[in-house]
Amino acid sequence: MRVTIAVDAMGGDHGLSVTVPAVLSFLAAVPEAQVVMVGLAGPLEAALASEDKALRARIKVRTASEVVEMHEPPADALRRKKDSSMRVAIDLIKSGEAQACVSAGNTGALMAIGKFVLKTLPGIDRPAIATQLPNTHGVSTVLDLGANVNCSSEQLLQFAIMGSALTTAIEGRENPTVGLLNVGEEETKGNEVVREAAELLKCSGLNFYGNIEGDDIYKGTTDVVVCDGFVGNVALKTSEGLVQMLYQFLKDEYSRNWRTKLAALLSYRVLKSFKSRLDPRRFNGATLIGLRGVVVKSHGSADELAFEYALRKAYQEVAHGMLDRIAQRIEAVSAKLPVVKSLDVDQASA
Amino acid sequence: MRVTIAVDAMGGDHGLSVTVPAVLSFLAAVPEAQVVMVGLAGPLEAALASEDKALRARIKVRTASEVVEMHEPPADALRRKKDSSMRVAIDLIKSGEAQACVSAGNTGALMAIGKFVLKTLPGIDRPAIATQLPNTHGVSTVLDLGANVNCSSEQLLQFAIMGSALTTAIEGRENPTVGLLNVGEEETKGNEVVREAAELLKCSGLNFYGNIEGDDIYKGTTDVVVCDGFVGNVALKTSEGLVQMLYQFLKDEYSRNWRTKLAALLSYRVLKSFKSRLDPRRFNGATLIGLRGVVVKSHGSADELAFEYALRKAYQEVAHGMLDRIAQRIEAVSAKLPVVKSLDVDQASA
């Protein structure tokens, strides 16, 4: 399927030095894809000048006159930078010139611009941030990771619908299982919002497994893990911190003396494959899900390989009709559930 | 300092076969300690019969006629089993015969009985569950880990006070730093409760660092990490699941073929010290903090070593005056902060 992805060529810590080579590798690997790179005219043209003709022919260039800074307040980026590379890239979805947008820029700004330009999908109160995390036998899709720090039970239901559609699009699983992150498996556990969400999920027609606990994320008990953005963000960051600490401990132990250093040398390949199973680059790309368009946020510090993974994720979501799947599942769920007035209780975005 | 600890000898998955040897090792290591073991008369006397006379002399026996089951509803354990080993052990604190109680039994029941018999400390709305987790350079004290799934900002402040006192008692750090777990460092981040809690903490006179994120737990950015019980429970369980997955991955990689198996053999000591740095037994013992007495919950599956760590933790908390320290810090904080009506919004216990 022919897919055009708009790339914010200037976003992230490394800008063009990462986005250009990543786009080239991506195009070489995915013949059905085309890219519109959006950036400052001079630097972007220069970065693309010497590239392979055949690949270059599948890249369009759109210029933008400014760049959203990594720590710029989202509201400023939205109001004052109407010709930023991020904004122009999102506008390309709106105008139909692209079906997806990938940016390694400021998350808050990308979400604010996405919401303003594209709006949310019918039936969705607010977009969420979703990503895949490794588990013992594959990956789990987890959402929300920080866009909504206060959620109603209806929003958690919407996250479940979106996570389910995303998992089908990315993983090809037709009827993925959905778990509700809680402090225990029993139905009496948790707060009121989570208990209500469980009731809604039971009647939703989704493949609802029930309550799960934090360890189930990595056990892979369910394909989709639903939680509010506060809890999801803490779970994700806690995991990042723990992995860093474990690497540090492993390094400490292997560098104690000549014997342990020798053991490290002999374990080089083992440790390399071990690390590659957890390589955050392979899981790069968080989907801003719930917008009327596919928007994928790459980590700001992404390197070429990581950014390419984010591009592939956006491609998959378009090629496997994620947006249509969300719409269909919302239809199906509304048919089963009494219409509930959605409460928009979110007070802040992360 | 002479300290008497009441031990629920029947609690946990292994009961007497773990509690008796753990108590003996503990007494051998801590000459100032005495223990009252509470359990079913016959089995307890039999388990203690052949033990070393000198150590045995420091163990009193109190009989109880029943045992709280691991999955018994806490309310039932509280109302119907007034002569359970857990209840009698807690009663010993109330009567002044012991200064602390350690149990590997049902957490909910221990909390319910603790609250009913001992009551909460003045200035504390509800007790929390606190434990120590390893970080890159020591340990972090984290609370609440699941007793309170909905917290007010005042409760988060109380957790900070209690966590600070606990850290001083256990770690000997006089003025420990306190971090508030949030989805970002900026003051605008998070939900209303967390933002209000930050305001209270700023004026509290505690050594408040500010907002921290999930990865700061393992970086050890602050000595104390404060969060509500839902978030804390998810962070803890997520960590447990992640560590299990990493061990599995490491094992997979080391068992691929004869070369990797050889590497594993040569790395045996390194991997052993690596695992021991994370050994959950070394961190066993969650303090039910905020009660008028020291109550430590051991993991249900604790072995002898793990249970001994829980006993040592209880000993430290008594020997270093944790309860008095909490009272003093509550005094000091109330002097600085305008009296705020404490809202008890907790709806469920984990």
**ipTM associated with this complex:** 0.92
- The tokens of B186 are what? 């900026």
Query: CB B270 to CB A253 under 8 A?
Result: yes
B contact residues 273-292, partner A, Cβ 8 Å cutoff: 273-274, 277-278
Q: Residue B241: list chain A partners with CB under 8 A.
A: 214-219
Contacting residues for B94 by C-beta, under 8 A, at least 6 apart? B117, B118, B293
Could you list the beta-strand ranges (E) of chain B.
3-8, 33-39, 59-63, 100-103, 128-135, 138-143, 177-181, 207-212, 224-226, 286-289, 294-297
For residue A203, the tally of other CB atoms under 10 A from its CB is: 13
Quick: pLDDT tens for B49-77: 887 889 999 999 999 999 999 999 999 99
Maximum distance among all Cα pairs of chain A, rounded to whole angstroms: 68
Whole-number pLDDT of residue B343? 36
Token pair 């999920």 is found at: A201
Contacts 24+ apart (CB under 8 A), B19-24: B19/B104, B19/B307, B20/B47, B20/B48, B20/B51, B21/B304, B22/B302, B22/B304, B22/B305, B22/B306, B22/B307, B22/B308, B22/B311, B23/B59, B23/B311, B24/B51, B24/B52, B24/B55
Query: CB B215 to CB A260 under 8 A?
Result: no
Best of B129, B236, B253 to disrupt the A interface by mutation (most A CBs within 10 Å)? B253
Q: Chain B contact for A71, CB < 8 A?
A: no
Q: Do the beta carbons of residue B119 and residue B25 sit within 8 Å?
A: no
Q: Chain B contact for A233, CB < 8 A?
A: yes
Q: What percent of chain A has pLDDT over 70?
A: 96
How far is Cα B98 from Cα B81, in angstroms, rounded to an integer? 21
Nearest CA in chain A to B251: A274
Helices (H), chain A: 16-29, 41-48, 53-56, 74-80, 85-94, 107-118, 153-171, 192-202, 214-219, 229-254, 258-266, 268-278, 304-319, 322-336
Render A210-259 in DSSP notation, one character per residue: EEE-HHHHHHT-SSEEE--HHHHHHHHHHHHHHHHHHHHHHHHHHTSSHH
How far is Cα A228 from Cα A266, in angstroms, rounded to an integer? 44
How far is Cα A206 from Cα A246, in angstroms, rounded to an integer? 37
- DSSP-assigned beta bridge partners for residue A287: A130, A296
Q: Residue B245: list chain A partners with CB under 8 A.
A: 134-136, 218-219
CA B179 to chain centroid, in Å, comes to 19
Q: Do the beta carbons of residue B319 and residue B32 sit within 8 Å?
A: yes
Superfamily of domain covering B122-283+322-338: Isopropylmalate Dehydrogenase (3.40.718.10)
Whole-number pLDDT of residue B341? 43
Query: CB A235 to CB B233 under 8 A?
Result: no
Best of B144, B188, B191 to disrupt the A interface by mutation (most A CBs within 10 Å)? B191
Q: Chain A contact for B137, CB < 8 A?
A: no
Q: Residue B217: list chain A partners with CB under 8 A.
A: 238, 241-242
Query: CB A249 to CB B350 under 8 A?
Result: no
Q: Residue A348: list chain B partners with CB under 8 A.
A: 188-191
Contacting residues for A196 by C-beta, under 8 A, at least 6 apart? A153
Nearest CA in chain B to A184: B350
Q: Chain B contact for A255, CB < 8 A?
A: no
| A138-143/A177-181 β-pairing | unpaired
Q: Do the beta carbons of residue B295 and residue B287 sit within 8 Å?
A: yes
Burial of A96 (0-12, 13-18, 19+ CB in 10 A): exposed
Burial of B198 (0-12, 13-18, 19+ CB in 10 A): buried
A/B interface, count of CB pairs below 8 Å: 187
- The tokens of B178 are what? 């306190």
DSSP-assigned letter for residue B73: -
Whole-number pLDDT of residue B345? 36
Query: CB B270 to CB A254 under 8 A?
Result: yes
Quick: pLDDT tens for B95-149: 999 999 999 999 999 999 999 999 999 999 999 999 999 999 999 999 999 999 9
How far is Cα B285 from Cα B278, in angstroms, rounded to an integer? 15
- The mean pLDDT values, 10 residues at a time, for chain A of 350 residues are 95 95 97 97 92 90 96 94 97 98 96 97 96 95 95 96 96 96 92 95 96 97 98 96 94 92 90 90 95 97 97 97 96 80 38
Q: Chain A contact for B75, CB < 8 A?
A: no
Q: Residue B181: list chain A partners with CB under 8 A.
A: 234
Stretches where chain B sits below pLDDT 50 are 341-350
Token pair 């778990």 is found at: A179
For residue B174, the tally of other CB atoms under 10 A from its CB is: 9
How far is Cα B209 from Cα B223, in angstroms, rounded to an integer? 10
Strand (E) or helix (H) holding A287:
strand A286-289
To the question of pTM greater than 0.80 for the whole model, the response is yes
Q: What is the CATH number of domain A126-288?
A: 3.40.718.10
CA B40 to chain centroid, in Å, comes to 25
How far is Cα A260 from Cα B271, in angstroms, rounded to an integer? 10
The b-or-e profile of B108-131 (16+ CB within 10 A means b, else e) is: bbbbbbbbebbebbebbbbbbbbb
Instruction: Give me the residue from A216, A245, A350 closest to B184, CB to CB.
Output: A350
SS3 state at A208? strand
Q: Residue B216: list chain A partners with CB under 8 A.
A: 241
Whole-number pLDDT of residue A338? 67
